[in-house]
Amino acid sequence: MAVVRLDGVEQHVGNIFCIGRNYAAHVAELGNQQEEEPLVFLKPTSALTLSGQDIVLPAYSADVHHECELVLLIGKGGNDIPEVDALSHITGLGIGLDLTARDVQSEAKKGGKPWTKAKGFRHAACVSDFVAAESVAAGQPFTFSLQVNGAIRQRGDTSLLLFPLATIISYLSQVYGLNEGDLIYTGTPQGVAALQPGDVVQAQLDGLVTADWTVSA
């Protein structure tokens, strides 16, 4: 069973929800349209890769991109959660990478096919340890960054989310229902780019937590 660490204690993971096209600049850089409601896709728990583990790129893709994101760990599930109560359902905050086989995704989009092969491969859901939400103000804006080989690739600010955290949680609870242990990847800012074998990757959430991965050669 897949697990993450919250303040050093293992927590079982349920569903992995991901929100696409949630920063305007990222929507623009890929030539997509902004969505009228959250764009949701799922990753299997077999895609989870914790900080310190190697990333192995899939052999069937020649263009795997990093997408750095704030990740939420749900502590209290529910259905039809109102936005005013939504943030109280977060138990942990972390930083993660939604890895995307961009060439495979592009072909799938052309054919109107699902994105699963492009988004759900092993190691496609990298994630840090989590810090307890009660130790920070979950409603505040968070900044985060991604470095590859010591150079900044992405900077994010959750005040720029097209669908804020409370809206995402409420929406997911209405459509799918949320359970304890669910993860929510909240969307990536601009600056996505390809990873290469040997790359050293570091993601940081607003000074709260840092995660490191090496792309296997």
Q: What is the CATH number of the domain that holds 198?
A: 3.90.850.10
| Residue 115, pLDDT above cutoff 80 | yes
The tally of domains found in the chain comes to 1
Q: How many CB atoms lie within 10 A of CB 80?
A: 9
Read off the pTM: 0.97
- Tell me the average pLDDT across 102-119: 95
29-82 pLDDT, tens per residue? 888 888 899 999 999 999 999 999 999 999 999 999 999 999 999 999 999 999
* Per-residue buried b or exposed e for 89-126, using 16+ beta carbons within 10 Å of the residue's own CB: bbbbbbbbbbbbbbbbbeebeeeeeebebbbbbebbbb
Full domain range(s) for residue 97: 3-215
Can you give the pLDDT at residue 141?
94
146-156 pLDDT, tens per residue? 999 999 999 99
